[in-house]
Amino acid sequence: MDDVDHDLLAFMREAMGLTAAVKKGPRETGVLESARYIFDNSIDIALDRDSVVQAAESIYNSIRLKSYSTQTWSEHELHPKAKNENTLNFIFTMDVLNFSFWSEKSEDKRFSVVYNGKKYTGYWSLVALMNRALDEGIPITCPFFVSDPDICPDSLLEYVFRSDSEERIPLLQERITCLRESGMILCERYDGSFANCVREARHSASELIMRVADDFPCFRDEFRFEGRNVNFYKRAQILIAGLTDIWACFNSTSYGSFYDISSVTMFADYRVPVILHSMGCMMYAPKLEGHIRARKPIPSGHPWELQLRGTTIWCVELVRREIEKNHPGSKINAILIDFYLYDTAKVMEEQGEDMIPTHRTRSIWY
């Protein structure tokens, strides 16, 4: 029997008038619904309810003690201190390029950038190279500049992305393509200013996520899973609400004021599944676990990868609901839970804790 096409069924129900009236207002991202569907149809990953309940209490107490908030954004030496439209273009450019920094090489050999005498790897290497370019008079955050190959040839962008170690930045050509394409779209549709896109969303995080995903292909991570379209919009969400981005930069004011910020889910990538697995919340089928422990690659869009990402989102949502049930009024959302889990996993990794490795998927989506 052929697989059921859920999207076709939804279309037929709508055509026959069997669906509810279309809701007016900001569009919903559908990320949480996609995650629930993936979890419900997953055969390689399961969740342990008791561990989720225990994790929720532990996470709640830790977040309270560490006082996670948006106020730390501009405190980092690499982040811009101004709160204006130029900063929005900096953030936009940063998230156009913010993907796939993992490396199989040792810390001294992996891609790195030395800026102001300090060595940076991972995400921070990107922020460092952007600052380095601006210091050198290369307007890397200007969409009119990066979208024009005559004044900004590939050779110049390769120079901007240069490494201070033996490893080149991963997916160099993909980064150049994303930068040019996004710059061109920003010029054509928003007069070269991401602030115009933010304004059109009218302080709705979900609407802004959908605008970014609709208008900029490199933010549109959509896939097919078990007869249904699913989406994650990881980088679109982190652009709007990540610890390093608009909501955090503007500290919930001005361009960063979103009345529906809690509609944003956690950001499904590599590290959070590791800590949830270590906490006993996520359990893998032996074949999948063996594959990950052997550090074998998983292609982007593979059912294993979609299950990893979708189940992680749903697990964090269950943790959030448990916290909300036991501690009403705590205002702890999925974003703050993600911050805590990501940072905790990174610390455990640096301390050499015995954890399952991060899964190896090389893509532009995270």
Would you please indicate which residues are annotated as catalytic (active-site) residues? Answer: 269
Three-state secondary structure string covering 56-73: HHHHHHHHHHHCCCHHHH
Taking a C-beta distance cutoff of 8 angstroms, is the pair 306, 223 a contact?
yes
Taking a C-beta distance cutoff of 8 angstroms, is the pair 328, 60 a contact?
no
- Give the C-alpha separation, 233 to 245, whole Å: 15
- Give the C-alpha separation, 138 to 129, whole Å: 11
Instruction: Count the neighbouring beta carbons within 10 Å of the beta carbon of residue 340.
Output: 20
What is the distance in angstroms between the CA of the first residue and the CA of the last residue of the chain? 35
Tokens 């594959």 identify what position? 291
Joined tokens for residue 113: 């950038």
Taking a C-beta distance cutoff of 8 angstroms, is the pair 180, 147 a contact?
yes
Q: Write down the number of H helices and E strands in the chain.
A: 16, 6
Taking a C-beta distance cutoff of 8 angstroms, is the pair 42, 285 a contact?
no
Joined tokens for residue 163: 């490494």
Own/partner contacts of 118-122, CB < 8 Å, gap of 24 or more, are 119/164, 120/78
Joined tokens for residue 234: 């990881």
Joined tokens for residue 173: 């050509």
